[in-house]
Amino acid sequence: MEPEKSNSEKRKSTSFDLSKSSVSISKKIDFQKQASVVSDIRKIKRNLSKEEINDLKKEIDIDEHKISLESLCARYDTDAETGLSESKALELLQKNGPNALTPPKEASEIIKFLKQMTSGFALLLWAGSIFSFIAFVIQWSQDKDTPYDSIWLGVALAVVVILTGCFQYYQESKSGKIMDSFKKMIPQSALVKRDGQEKTISAEELVVGDCVYVKIGDRLPADIRIVKSESFKVDNSSLTGEAEPQVRSPEFSHENPLETKNLAFFGTFAVEGSCQGIVIRTGDNTAMGRIATLASGLDQNETHLAGEINHFVHIVTVVAIGFGVTFLIIMLALGYPIINAIVFLIGVVVSNVPEGLIACVTISLALTAKRMAKKNCLVKHLEAVESLGSVGIICSDKTGTLTMNRMTVAHMWLGNKIVEVHPDDVQNSHVLFNKAYLEDFDTPYIRRFSVQPFDFVDSKDWRKLVRCAILCNKAAFKEDAENMAKDVWKRECNGDASETALLQYTEAVHGNVFNYRNENKKIVEIPFNSTNKFQLSIHETSDKKNLLLVMKGAPEKILEKCDKILVDGETLEMNDHWKKEFNSAYEYLGGLGERVLGFCDLRLDENFTSDFEFDTENFNFPTTGLRFLGFYSLIDPPKPSVPEAISRCRSAGIQVFMVTGDHPITAKAIAQSVGIITYETKEDIAKRLKIPIERVNKKDVKACVVHGSQLTDMTSDDLDKLIREHKEIVFARTSPQQKLIIVEACQRTKMLVGVTGDGVNDSPAMKKADIGISMGITGSDVSKQVADMILLDDNFASIVTGIEEGRLIFDNISKIVSYTFAKNMSQLTPFIVYVLCDVPLALGTISILCVDLGTDIIPSLSLAYEKPEKGIMTRKPRDPKKDKMTNARMVSFCYGQIGLCEASAGFFGFFVCLAECGFWPSRAIGVRSYWDSKDIPDFRDSYGQEWTHEQRKRLERSAQTCFFVGIVVSQIANVLISKTKRESIFKHGIRNMYMNFAILATIGIACFLAYVPKLNQALGFYPIYFLWWLPGIPFAIFLFFHVEIKKIVCKILPGSWYDHELNW
């Protein structure tokens, strides 16, 4: 018979013996055979219905954490000691499928490519291309000598669509798949017990009811109910947003499954201890699986810019068809043949298609994205650049986004005084001292900085407290040379977040923590656990005195252990007065959202030596009657740049809401420190006025903190009302599903919504938002895949840069659109005059292409480099429904004012050329049929000179070149006035060197097209005299000053009818 085992041996022999497990892991496993079983039942996820999406938005509703262990085992037909049988596990695997996240149904790459080729604007260009081919066929059927202008126009339009479509497809293909990131969260293997035997299997083979073992460093392979644990902690930050590791034990502690201690979830990390659990959910049914399914199943909203482009397409289509049909009716009324009328209709429609616009917009977005990348904003989807500039609400996660995602010492309480500790920068710390003359903490420090009225020079209180913080701490720096060379606050550590914060603090204020620990050797240690709620260690000390017991833990627990307190170097009795002071300080620091840890010590008597057998199970040494030393309070501090960024968002008219999974008190404290909450909440008002909360006037409440449990009870209308009535909101203790519901409610306010985050729990909300923004350093792979933009430096302030760039690109794209749109009238009028006045055609089809794809491209792109106008970050966000990029006012201004001015410049040059060659305007009108006829070799001009058909066509090409030059000159004025919408160019300046180059390049291209032999003939141009460049200049000057005067009048009369009608 085996001898009876001691308590510690019994504990080690429980079924999660890690030493035995390591042997099991080393065994060879035929994973190929296992994988074949799993692959046979793998499935592809179908598209989710609306009802299924709504179901996934609901909170997790399970009871496995509430029922007894016996009931749980009975439900899943398992045993906590022996686990499932192999036959039962295989049966469940065949029934429920593998423990894996099912990928959604993906569109083929060819479908994605075709979508880029058939977007709203692309369809307009395709229509123009097809109409051009149709027009050529009609003309060719009547005249075999018809020029190929329409063919070249159709080809050019098709090439533009294909090139821009390929570019956009390339940009989209760089965005990864969401599910691929979730798959990285699945561990390769899991340690289970089946048929009473431990074995390592592929994690995909786990089934509900499996008895699984997890140790420090493991990723949870499924959702499990904790059966046994040893100091087990998990990092839930990616799932719930909690910055601190969470204790997990068999204890049922909360109704909410995400908050109870006896559940641990798939994809989270074990950061301390070990546990045994029973699998209750696998694959898509896990909490993480539901988030993955929800994130991948949500439809991506159409970007704001895509909607604007589609709106523009509708306007262009209506205008083009309107003009075309109008003049089709006129031509038929004038007696033109139906075939000629249809050809003319097609010409009018095609002349209104801005061929180069889609390329200009795409390239402008790419240039802006490149510029933003230099400012640490990586744009994944080009159109998202503009969306960020239009957001009216930003829903920001707290942990890792607004805060550093790093616990830091913020305050300490000792000697009945609260002392602030600067959370980040040691050089500005309120408690920074030179290193000690001796390594012993009993030697006084020389004070370096202290803004508190508290003298540390002779403070034994502080030295004892720091000593306890160093010794009662398991955290240690990773001892590689590269890590140790870093600044203290940036070194990587082994240990949980709280102990790491204390280690960094003590290293900063003292130094050589490692050496000090070696000089004060640890004899025994009791790690923190959820039952004791304290950590204890006993040390030899360098002063050769009796052993020193140090303890830290929950303040209320530490207080129970103490009957003395250290104040101003004296050890006093812990009476009611000191307990009251203790509670007052504890409540104050807790109210700041900080985690408070109490510290105490005790010198053991001579009976306890280094050779003493300390029993850590049944304490055979004092654990009461200790001396209380003080508190350290810790917090995940805000990033230094966040408050200013929040302030700039406010000045830009943008509301910033905090949406976090953390506790309400912590969330509110951080929100107040960064400026998200500046008004009093209902509770604050009630406390200040000393009245019940119910009596607070709702109209006085502009800020609120909403708990996730309150959200659960709210209807959609209640949530909409809450958002409408409060300017400042913090949503705390929210689940991933609730974050999504909040975003949808914000979108119902008709504002564009941006969501920032770094965890898996943020991914559904980021996917649903108009623009999702992820952190580049601390962000999870999942959040980066879902996001439209990634902040490479994790700096929330970079969002403000992005907003400014977004507003700027919207302004600049609208300038490009109006600049491009304005010349449509000058390209349309030659066809109109050609029909109505029966004059030679003033501008050919190829000439239109030369303007759209030649002389206008570079000036259009130069507008993308234009600097912002004054006040861009103080104006309110645009209303996406009302403040359109293109509207009736823009069309009337571009066509009725700028367009007619440019057309006048072109026609003036056209008729000057004809007149100087002998054809006065009176002679040029009504002669088109004679002019084009090859059968008339002796057509007479105004002076009676005879012109052959070839001579007339040469003169026509010269006149068309003059019309072309007139458009080029007036478009130079147009691009200059397009630099600003409201600000005078004389105030804004002409510092855009790209535009200055573009103007010179435009003139150079025009000369190249007009004067290069053979090329000009192919394009329908002819070399002209220098003087024929001049007729367009007066019109350009008039256009420039006309618009400048308009800007001045609008500035003098803001909000007037004139201002309203001439600005868009």
Q: Report if residue 330 sits inside a domain.
A: no
Can you tell me whether residue 690 is helix, strand or coil?
Answer: coil
Q: Report if residue 34 sits inside a domain.
A: yes
User: Which of these ranges, 167-181, 578-592, 820-834, 878-892, has the smallest mean pLDDT?
Assistant: 167-181
Q: Report if residue 171 sits inside a domain.
A: no
> Is residue 423 located within the same domain as residue 384?
no
Joined together, the tokens standing for residue 40 give: 């046979």
Q: Which value, in Å, is the radius of gyration of the alpha carbons in the chain?
A: 38
User: Which of these ranges, 470-474, 525-529, 596-600, 885-889, has the smallest mean pLDDT?
Assistant: 885-889
Among 362-376, 414-428, 801-815, the range with the most confident prediction by mean pLDDT is 801-815
pLDDT tens per residue across span 384-395: 788 888 899 999
- Whether pLDDT at 753 is above 60: yes
pLDDT tens per residue across span 234-285: 988 778 767 678 889 999 988 889 889 999 999 888 988 899 999 999 988 9
CATH number for the domain that contains residue 730: 3.40.50.1000
Q: Report if residue 261 sits inside a domain.
A: yes
> Is residue 588 located within the same domain as residue 631?
yes
The overall average pLDDT reported for the chain is 83
Phi, psi for residue 774 in degrees, rounded to 5? -110, 155
> Is residue 752 located within the same domain as residue 840?
no
- Of 600, 635, 670, the last residue of a domain is 635
Q: Which helix (H) or strand (E) holds 442?
A: none
pLDDT (mean) for 836-853: 84
> Is residue 882 located within the same domain as residue 1003?
yes
CATH number for the domain that contains residue 22: 2.70.150.10
Q: Evaluate whether 331 touches 347 at the Cβ level (below 8 Å).
A: no
> Is residue 664 located within the same domain as residue 710?
yes
pLDDT tens per residue across span 848-901: 878 887 888 899 989 989 999 888 888 888 877 777 777 788 888 888 889 999
What is the distance between the alpha carbons of residues 202 and 206, in angstroms, rounded to a whole number? 7
Confidence of residue 600 (pLDDT cuts 50, 70, 90): very high
> Is residue 616 located within the same domain as residue 630?
yes
Pick 316 or 1012 by higher pLDDT: 1012
Q: Report if residue 363 sits inside a domain.
A: no
What is the distance between the alpha carbons of residues 292 and 286, in angstroms, rounded to a whole number? 10
- Whether pLDDT at 501 is above 60: yes
Pick 181 or 783 by higher pLDDT: 783
* Residue 17: per-residue pLDDT: 41
> Is residue 848 located within the same domain as residue 699?
no
Confidence of residue 626 (pLDDT cuts 50, 70, 90): very high
Q: Report if residue 550 sits inside a domain.
A: yes
Instruction: Give the percent of the chain with pLDDT over 70.
Output: 89
- Whether pLDDT at 688 is above 60: yes
CATH number for the domain that contains residue 521: 3.40.1110.10
> Is residue 905 located within the same domain as residue 949?
yes
> Is residue 415 located within the same domain as residue 395?
no
- Of 253, 270, 297, the last residue of a domain is 297
Joined together, the tokens standing for residue 132 give: 């051009």
What is the distance between the alpha carbons of residues 486 and 496, in angstroms, rounded to a whole number? 20
> Is residue 786 located within the same domain as residue 677?
yes
Active site positions, annotated = 397
> Is residue 880 located within the same domain as residue 761?
no
Joined together, the tokens standing for residue 556 give: 């209320």
CATH number for the domain that contains residue 831: 1.20.1110.10
Q: Which helix (H) or strand (E) holds 200?
A: strand 197-202
Confidence of residue 36 (pLDDT cuts 50, 70, 90): very low
Pick 54 or 649 by higher pLDDT: 649
Among 405-414, 717-726, 930-939, the range with the most confident prediction by mean pLDDT is 717-726
Q: Report if residue 128 sits inside a domain.
A: no
- Of 267, 297, 327, the last residue of a domain is 297
> Is residue 690 located within the same domain as residue 835?
no
* Tally of domains in the chain: 4
* Residue 926: per-residue pLDDT: 87
Alpha-carbon distance values, 275 to 249, 638, 779 (Å): 8, 34, 28
* Residue 311: per-residue pLDDT: 80
User: Which of these ranges, 89-93, 468-472, 638-642, has the smallest mean pLDDT?
Assistant: 638-642
Provide the domain limits for residue 193. Answer: 7-103+181-297
pTM metric for this prediction? 0.76
Other CB atoms within a 10 A radius of the CB of residue 922 amount to 9
Q: Report if residue 875 sits inside a domain.
A: yes
What is the distance between the alpha carbons of residues 384 and 364, in angstroms, rounded to a whole number? 13
